[in-house]
Chains A and B, each alone.
Chain A
Amino acid sequence: MDFDATLLSRLQFAFTIAFHIIFPSFTIGLASYLTVLEGLWLTTRNEVFKVLYLFWIKIFAISFGMGVVSGVVISYELGTNWSVYSRVASPVIGPLFAFEVLAAFFLEASFLGVMLFGWKKVGPRLHFAATALVAFGTLVSAFWIISANSWMQHPTGFTQLADGTLRAVSWMQVIFSPTFPTRLAHMVLAAYLTTALVVGAASAWRILKDPDEDASRIALKMAVGMFAIAAPLQLLVGDASGKLVLHVQPAKLAAIEAFWETRTEQPFHVVAWPDRAIDGNRWEFSVPALGSWITSGSTATEIKGLKAFPPEDRPPVFIVFWAFRVMVGLGVAMIALGAWGVWLYWRNGGPHHSRPFLWACVAMGPAGFVAVIAGWIVAEVGRQPYVIYGVLRTADAVSPVRASQVSVSLLAFLVIYAVVFSVGALYILRLIAAGPNAETIEAAGPRPPGYALAAAPLEPEDQA
């Protein structure tokens, strides 16, 4: 394979956006979680919720910072590396990105300052409002980004001019393209699950160290509740999303399931080794006829195989097939974890008594991130060879830049992101290891607990 500017730009975009998605998928959920914690503290006045809030906000601050700086990159990378895409697509999805910045980015960035540093500067209700606005901002951000992405997956409400550029004819159809509602629900549930898994793992870890830690027990209970509700719901939403793919992106569906022939009663390949070189699976372990039923609800439905598409229109099958199985496998594990946790509450007086369950929670801590990235690979690689499905090919979308430039920038991203990620992860893990009560004990002075919030001056300043 030739390392040309297109391939290098794809690698760079894939790397920078995969890095970026880690943080929003955690902070979307964590911002909502912090809102719930602060709301519970304000209404119940139970100090445990305050302790948890002050603990998780520190982790939120680190994660959000990394999300912001890696997100800024994207808003310029579309031009540096995908200038043709920008020119063609902007008339239609430009407003979606603009609204993301105007309605969400500013809201989050501004009220984040109040949330992190305003504990002593504003009253508790106003501080709660700031937390809630940050959480609302993260959801609005997800709304516009998934709207733009859904349009690129299945563009509607536009027309193409002779010069190749696009024009919107119906903004409603652009913003609310048919796959958007299910994909947004899928993403938000994924974010909530990712956060719940991290909260669950951190709390389980603390309970393993100190079985009597109240705050961690409550956090674990909340996390298990989220698994139990969101994980099964995610299965339903994911299935609905998959059934839409069958209609709007049949080539992607064929790649997801490694279907090659077009037929009814498609077998379901539990595992397989699909290979484009032989136009088939080198080996497979399959259940007859189940594939048609899973993807369409009936074994009698004729489902297109990859051979129905010209080779130049087929997405890479191996990576899509396996990424999908990783995602679904982890999703099933999340459902099992939730069911196990609920069962322990029912039978055992609480999952904090079960060391195997606590260890399982710790092990599943990173599962949300892996599942999100795997799902993103299914969506984006499965859309290939198009960047705007059926409209603009990825190879035609790239900037007139040289491979040498892109290789240097890609290398720089790899190095800097590796440093930033490992250091950020280290600091977060250190905080988790120390647990929610660590700084309450230290802070026996005039300083309020929790660094991030301790950051505000003790006395309000009156002089302007």
Chain B
Amino acid sequence: MTLDLPLVWAGILAIAVLMYVLLDGFDLGIGILFPFAGSPADRDVMMDTVAPVWDGNETWLVLGGGGLFAAFPFAYAAVMPALYIPILLMLLALILRGVAFEFRLRARKRGKAFWTAAFTVGSLSATIAQGLVLGGFIQGMTLKDGAFAGGPFDWLTPYTLLVAAGLVAGYALLGSTWLIWRTEDELHGRARLWAWISAGAVAALLAATSLATLFVHANIAARWGFENGAFDLGKLAPLLPIPALGLVGLVVAAIGLLRRAHFPPFLGAGLVFLSGYLGLAVSFFPYIVPYSMTFREAANPDNTLALMLGGGAILLPAILGYSAWVYWIFRGKVGAGAGYH
């Protein structure tokens, strides 16, 4: 049996990006919710819930970038220059967010206020930048001979701004439901309120974004059954479980919130993200640079992909194993009196 190596690697990268969005999504969401905390002590607890794991979470982004370089260099070389400004914005914002974890603890009074603000600004800017990257990616980009040939601001459109707004709401939902799961007392109560608000915003923005996406490119509309003004239910029907999964996620989150459950809202938020992610995946497949370059055209030769798969086959399960173990070590509620400060 010969493996379809480009397909395998496309799958691995897709999972890496999904892992990143889900895991760093709640880290960034906590940064977005930071200004709304009731007290400085609550902010400390919010940060403490993710402090031991954020670094591992962000590493999935390195695998996304490094993996694209290593497996699909033609896509990497086309996409990165096209999205130069939002990518660089994201990196700079992640620097502020990342150092804030340590710096905030070491700072004195004014410094602490500064790094508290930097944590929020960094998290929010990184999220917006990721939304712009995602939106710019969905829109597609101008390529000539496999290289980017568009303008520096092609990624800035009403559509990409809508996606960015949706991602902010989505990460806030992940962050607030994570806090419901992992905190107690007043902060836990506040997180419920945040979850209700962000769930409403996610429902509205997800619907708006999904509709807008159908108008962004004819290829996507055709994939979902809308072609040349006609509608083909036969194309849409097999894909309906994907939006249905999103609805299920919202319902799970809402029921969880109504019943004052601790874990289900987070699970529901995750399902919403999974639905959106799968929706995009079926919209693009087999393009890795939407509408210009398929993942096969972008892929490295088989000898390169095979070598990496040999390493990945051992290392990826190990990574998943010890990451899960670290989450297990730090399981349970994190409280203010628990000794973080």
Q: Which residue of B lies closest to A410 (CB)?
A: B88
Would A84 and B56 be within 8 Å (CB), given that A94-B71, A405-B152 are in contact?
Answer: no
Q: How far is the CB of B326 from chain A (nearest CB, A)?
A: 5
Number of B residues near A (Cβ < 8 Å) is 73
- Is the pair A463, B315 in contact by a Cβ cutoff of 8 Å? no
- Is the pair A399, B80 in contact by a Cβ cutoff of 8 Å? yes
Would A97 and B69 be within 8 Å (CB), given that A106-B323, A167-B301, A167-B303 are in contact?
Answer: yes
- Is the pair B95, A416 in contact by a Cβ cutoff of 8 Å? yes
Q: How far is the CA of A103 from the CA of B317 in the complex (A)?
A: 11
- Is the pair B70, A90 in contact by a Cβ cutoff of 8 Å? yes
B329 at the interface (CB under 8 A from A): yes
A301 at the interface (CB under 8 A from B): no
Q: Find chain A residues with CB under 8 A from B67 CB.
A: 98, 101
Listed residue (A90, A100, A461) with the most chain B CB atoms within 10 angstroms of its CB: A90
Q: How far is the CA of A114 from the CA of B76 in the complex (A)?
A: 33
Q: How far is the CB of B62 from chain A (nearest CB, A)?
A: 5
- Is the pair A120, B339 in contact by a Cβ cutoff of 8 Å? yes
Q: How far is the CA of A367 from the CA of B262 in the complex (A)?
A: 53
Q: How far is the CB of B232 from chain A (nearest CB, A)?
A: 38
Q: Find chain A residues with CB under 8 A from B61 CB.
A: 72
Main secondary structure of the interface of A (DSSP, over half): helix
Would A76 and B92 be within 8 Å (CB), given that A90-B73, A91-B304, A455-B340 are in contact?
Answer: no
Listed residue (A77, A110, A427) with the most chain B CB atoms within 10 angstroms of its CB: A110
Would A92 and B304 be within 8 Å (CB), given that A83-B147, A109-B58 are in contact?
Answer: yes
B319 at the interface (CB under 8 A from A): yes
- Is the pair B84, A80 in contact by a Cβ cutoff of 8 Å? yes
Q: How far is the CB of A201 from chain B (nearest CB, A)?
A: 20
- Is the pair A399, B88 in contact by a Cβ cutoff of 8 Å? no
- Is the pair A168, B66 in contact by a Cβ cutoff of 8 Å? no
- Is the pair A95, B69 in contact by a Cβ cutoff of 8 Å? no
Q: How far is the CB of B223 from chain A (nearest CB, A)?
A: 27
Would A75 and B65 be within 8 Å (CB), given that A95-B304, A113-B56, A114-B52 are in contact?
Answer: yes
Q: Which of A257-310 contact B (CB under 8 A)?
A: none
- Is the pair A416, B96 in contact by a Cβ cutoff of 8 Å? yes
Residue of A69, A86, A113 near B326 (CB, 8 A) is A113
- Is the pair A457, B62 in contact by a Cβ cutoff of 8 Å? no
Q: How far is the CB of A12 from chain B (nearest CB, A)?
A: 9
Would A91 and B84 be within 8 Å (CB), given that A114-B52, A456-B339, A457-B340 are in contact?
Answer: no
Q: Which residue of A lies closest to B298 (CB)?
A: A87
Q: How far is the CA of A76 from the CA of B91 in the complex (A)?
A: 8
- Is the pair B339, A110 in contact by a Cβ cutoff of 8 Å? no
Q: How far is the CA of A98 from the CA of B78 in the complex (A)?
A: 19
Q: Find chain B residues with CB under 8 A from A69 CB.
A: 94-95, 98-99
Listed residue (B70, B96, B152, B334) with the most chain A CB atoms within 10 angstroms of its CB: B70
Q: How far is the CB of A355 from chain B (nearest CB, A)?
A: 30
Number of A residues near B (Cβ < 8 Å) is 83
Residue of B53, B147, B315 near A400 (CB, 8 A) is B147
Q: How far is the CB of A223 from chain B (nearest CB, A)?
A: 24
Q: Which of B284-341 contact A (CB under 8 A)?
A: 300-301, 303-304, 307-308, 311-312, 315-316, 319, 322-323, 326, 329-335, 338-340
Q: Which of B9-37 contact A (CB under 8 A)?
A: none
Q: Which residue of A lies closest to B64 (CB)?
A: A75
A182 at the interface (CB under 8 A from B): no
The contact string, 1 if C-beta is below 8 Å from chain B, for chain A 104-146, is: 0111011111101110111000000000000000000000000
Q: How far is the CA of A226 from the CA of B13 in the complex (A)?
A: 42
A62 at the interface (CB under 8 A from B): yes
Residue of B73, B301, B339 near A455 (CB, 8 A) is B339
- Is the pair B92, A412 in contact by a Cβ cutoff of 8 Å? yes
- Is the pair B323, A117 in contact by a Cβ cutoff of 8 Å? no
Q: How far is the CA of A441 from the CA of B305 in the complex (A)?
A: 55
Q: Find chain A residues with CB under 8 A from B326 CB.
A: 110-111, 113-114
Given A62-B103, A447-B339, 5 more A-B residue pairs with CB atoms under 8 Å apart are: A79-B76, A80-B84, A83-B148, A94-B73, A409-B88
Binding site for A on B (CB under 8 A): 48, 51-53, 55-56, 58-59, 61-63, 65-71, 73-74, 76-81, 84-85, 87-88, 91-92, 94-96, 98-99, 101-103, 105-107, 111, 146-149, 152, 300-301, 303-304, 307-308, 311-312, 315-316, 319, 322-323, 326, 329-335, 338-340
9 A-B pairs with CB atoms under 8 Å apart are: A71-B62, A72-B58, A86-B77, A94-B71, A98-B311, A109-B58, A112-B55, A409-B84, A412-B88
